[in-house]
Amino acid sequence: MIKPSVLIVDDEKAARYGMKKILQKDNYTVYEAKDGTDALQIIKSMHPALVFLDINMPQLDGMKTLETITDMKNPPLVVIVTAYGSEKIAVTAMKKGACDYITKPYEIDELRIIAKNAFERLALQEENARLRLEIGRLEGMGELIGQSEGMKYVFDKIEKVVTTDVTVLIQGESGSGKELVAREIHKRSKRRNEPLIVMNCAAVPETLIESELFGHEKGAFTGAAERRLGKFELANKGTIFLDEIGDMSVSTQSKLLRVLQEQKFERLGGAETLAVDVRIISATHRDLEEEIEEGRFREDLYYRINVVTIKLPPLRNRKEDIPLLVNRFIQYFSEKHQKSIVSISNEATKLLVSYNWPGNVRQLKNVIESAVVLSNNEILDTTDLPEEVRHPENHAVTLKNIDYRLSFRDAKKILIENFERDFIKKKLEEFSGNISRTAEALDMHRQNLQQKIRELRINKERN
């Protein structure tokens, strides 16, 4: 496997040396350039994936170098390196194509995180580019694949909101593709040439989420060694996507509400009121109306973010799309892993269509990648699929055999569904399949039990 490659562009040798030592420890291949002209030559010959580009350099400065890089056919990602107090220049650079910025002097961990995030973004861009090559021949919209009624509803909603600036709330289970919907809305909107800034509210610690959203001034809190621009400031004129907004604390919700109402905010520790022009798209897997009743989500914020709702159907409710997705993933992963797999058997396809997919499209994607990697044949067959897909009724998932590559939510969901399936099956057996008696024993309404039986795909004997 080729190591990720980084080019450091700085006219100060000491600055290049310090950054190089840090990145080499993280197993990056590192090149150096003393100015913009030298950097462009190295990019053309060595093709680094990521460039740390200093703004202030003699001859060809960082901004002009950035413009030349972004005009290339397959440009590397660029992180701008700037001095304290030059954040406005960094924002301008990001609008011109830079993916992030770092301010001197920086912390070692900050540099490492920025490099890691850049390569994750690069991987996503590469995947999206490959997806676009194939999706053109499938029915769907951009990177969203599907011809089911549920997906046609989603496509119709997207078409209606892209010409406006209304706030959009995307609802759907984990792994169903909520971020892809947000990206499609932004890509088709009048803000398409401005930034799309993504923030997963569930992934940021409560102590840092306000700083991430609104930025902070130097000294605003312990560890705030410099000014940092927040997501809203970086998204100015563009779109901000707040994923898992239902996980945001009530106190932060209050401050977010003000931004929605006034398009104004202050950085943490700052007195200056900043105005922004941002479109907000939100997403959640939670039932926000239930969260409001429990006092965990503000009702006034809910109505602000919920001008238009787009509900993404879970994969189990659009099974006619599974063959399309499977073929797409086979082609993508076959190319990615240099395999010669070209198709999948009818028997294997039937198993995939019949499976319940608690982890949705993300889980299906992982299953196909695993099958492609492990198979020695040109056509995937049932034996290439995991045990839980081939025999879901016998595959009791426990903490001992749970797939720890899954997200916490997906793993929890699978465990709960397996518990519910096993418990209800045993009760049905106890009452010989009698729905009314089983519902009474479970303290459930008969209709709710029947719905559960359908959802969990339980085979039952009925009197």
Tens digit of pLDDT for each residue in 86-136? 777 888 888 888 888 898 888 999 999 999 988 887 777 676 655 555 444
Distance CA 454, CA 338 (A): 40
pLDDT band at 163 (very low <50, low <70, confident <90, very high): confident
pLDDT band at 61 (very low <50, low <70, confident <90, very high): confident
Task: Give the least confident one: 121-125, 266-270, 379-383, 396-400.
Answer: 396-400
pLDDT beyond 50 at 463? no
pLDDT beyond 60 at 228? yes
pLDDT beyond 90 at 402? no
Residue 462 is predicted with a pLDDT of 39
Map residue 392 onto helix, strand or coil: helix
Task: Fold for 316-394, please state it.
Answer: Helicase, Ruva Protein; domain 3 (1.10.8)
Per DSSP, 384 falls in state G
Taking a C-beta distance cutoff of 8 angstroms, is the pair 53, 28 a contact? no
pLDDT beyond 50 at 255? yes
* Backbone phi and psi for residue 241, each to the nearest 5 degrees, phi listed first: -110, 115
Per-residue pLDDT reduced to its tens digit, 415-433: 888 788 888 988 888 888 8
Distance CA 261, CA 166 (A): 13
Task: Assign domain 5-122 to its CATH architecture.
Answer: 3-Layer(aba) Sandwich (3.40)
Residue 343 has a CB neighbour count (10 Å cut-off) of 16
424 Cβ contact partners less than 8 Å away, ≥ 6 residues apart:
438, 442, 449, 452, 453, 456, 458
Residue 461 is predicted with a pLDDT of 40
Mean pLDDT of 203-211: 83
Distance CA 287, CA 290 (A): 5
The more confident residue out of 391 and 13 is: 13
Residue 400 is predicted with a pLDDT of 59
Taking a C-beta distance cutoff of 8 angstroms, is the pair 50, 118 a contact? yes
Give start and end residues of each alpha helix (H) in 294-385. 299-305, 322-336, 346-354, 360-374
Mean pLDDT of 77-84: 88
Mean pLDDT of 166-188: 93
Query: What HEC string does 401-452 produce?
Result: CCCCCCCHHHHHHHHHHHHHHHHHHHHHHHCCCCHHHHHHHHCCCHHHHHHH
Mean pLDDT of 46-62: 88
Task: Assign domain 408-455 to its CATH architecture.
Answer: Orthogonal Bundle (1.10)
Q: In this structure, which amino acid lies at residue 139?
A: E
Parse the chain into domains and list their residue ranges.
5-122, 149-313, 316-394, 408-455
Fold agreement between 5-122 and 149-313: yes
pLDDT band at 143 (very low <50, low <70, confident <90, very high): confident
Residue 190 has a CB neighbour count (10 Å cut-off) of 11
Distance CA 377, CA 383 (A): 11
**Is the peptide bond preceding residue 58 cis, with omega within 30 degrees of 0?**
no
Distance CA 46, CA 27 (A): 17
Beta bridge partners of 200: 243
pLDDT beyond 90 at 440? no
Task: Fold for 149-313, please state it.
Answer: Rossmann fold (3.40.50)
Spell out where 35-115 has E strands.
Answer: 50-54, 77-83, 100-104
pLDDT beyond 80 at 404? no
Q: To which H or E segment does residue 169 belong?
A: strand 168-171
Q: On the CB side of 128, how many CA atoms lie within 13 Å of its CA?
A: 14
Q: In this structure, which amino acid lies at residue 298?
A: R
- Antiparallel, parallel or unpaired: β 239-243 and 144-145: unpaired
Q: What six digits make up the tokens of 416? A: 């709960």
Average pLDDT, the chain: 86
Mean pLDDT of 62-85: 88
Distance CA 102, CA 223 (A): 16
pLDDT beyond 60 at 184? yes
pLDDT band at 406 (very low <50, low <70, confident <90, very high): low
Q: What six digits make up the tokens of 329? A: 């993933």
Distance CA 198, CA 238 (A): 11
- Separation of CA 197 from chain center: 11
- Antiparallel, parallel or unpaired: β 264-266 and 273-275: antiparallel
Residue 137 is predicted with a pLDDT of 42
Tokens 């920086």 belong to 106
pLDDT beyond 90 at 154? yes
Distance CA 13, CA 82 (A): 16
Q: In this structure, which amino acid lies at residue 397?
A: V
pLDDT beyond 80 at 141? no
Q: On the CB side of 50, how many CA atoms lie within 13 Å of its CA?
A: 29
Distance CA 223, CA 397 (A): 42
139 Cβ contact partners less than 8 Å away, ≥ 6 residues apart:
145, 146, 147, 324
Q: Which of 441, 442, 437, 443 lies closest to 463, judged by CA?
A: 437
Residue 169 is predicted with a pLDDT of 96
The model carries a pTM of 0.57
Distance CA 80, CA 281 (A): 27
Distance CA 319, CA 341 (A): 23
pLDDT beyond 80 at 351? yes
